Amino acid sequence: MMDLERWQQLMGKLDISLNEDTYHALVKVYSEKHRRYHTGAHIDATLKHLDTVTDLANDSCEIEIALWFHDAIYKPFSASNELDSAVWASNFLSDNEVAKDRIDRVYNLIMATLHTAETKGNDQLLMVGIDLSILGAKPAVYDQFEKDVRYEYKFVPYFLYRKKRKEILDSFLERDRIYQYDFFYEKLEKQAKINLKNAIDSL
């Protein structure tokens, strides 16, 4: 889980030191006990999805480092998880003297996973498609995802959780397209709509 060798290779591509202390810090936070979906396994899954679309990216290294950090800060009742994760990534890259324009792009890639604002540019669309790929997973995988999300919000009374979760799932179905990037649209859109409708019906 969260392959150290892959991290080291990415550091080399970014032309910075190995930063194994940051790697271990990321492994630690993704292993927090309150997590069930937003874990290292999720990061591994997103990186596998990235591998299938690397040739479509303008800068796959920027997407990859954004994926490593995008759920680094995850507190179920916080409204600033993406922002806090983006700031951590930005500070990490700044400390390693990465160019500011690159830092800004990585920051914006992570913030795109809020899924509330209009996505701008090829790589942000790829980033969002990768992050939402779970919605179009096979039914059994998607069902486990819903169970894992509920676990992360286990302290929320079910009637409140049901209301909020339904709003979130409905918001995806109300879009003209769940996946704006054609690769993900063609591959996952149909199954994602089925999964979302089934999840809403089961709430």
Domain assignments of the chain as residue spans, ordered by start? 1-116, 132-203
For residue 5, the model assigns a pLDDT of 98
Over residues 37-48, the mean pLDDT reads 98
Over residues 119-124, the mean pLDDT reads 92
CB of 75 within 8 A of CB of 153? no
For residue 129, the model assigns a pLDDT of 97
Residue 1 has pLDDT above 90, yes or no: no
Measure CA 53 to chain center: 15
- The alpha-helical segments, DSSP class H, found in the chain are 4-13, 20-30, 40-53, 60-69, 81-95, 100-111, 122-131, 139-152, 158-173, 182-202
Q: What is the pTM of this model?
A: 0.96
Please tell me the distance from the alpha carbon of residue 86 to that of residue 114, in angstroms, as a whole number: 11
For residue 115, the model assigns a pLDDT of 86
Of 63, 62, 84, nearest to 75 (Cα)? Answer: 84
Question: In the 8-state DSSP scheme, what is residue 132?
Answer: T
Give residue 51's pLDDT band: very low, low, confident or very high (50, 70, 90): very high
Residue 118 has pLDDT above 80, yes or no: no
Over residues 13-29, the mean pLDDT reads 98
Give residue 119's pLDDT band: very low, low, confident or very high (50, 70, 90): confident
For residue 116, the model assigns a pLDDT of 80
Over residues 130-149, the mean pLDDT reads 98
Q: What does the pLDDT look like over 63-77, one tens digit per residue?
A: 999 999 999 999 998
Going from the C-alpha of 186 to that of each of 58, 119, 160, the distances in angstroms are: 20, 18, 34
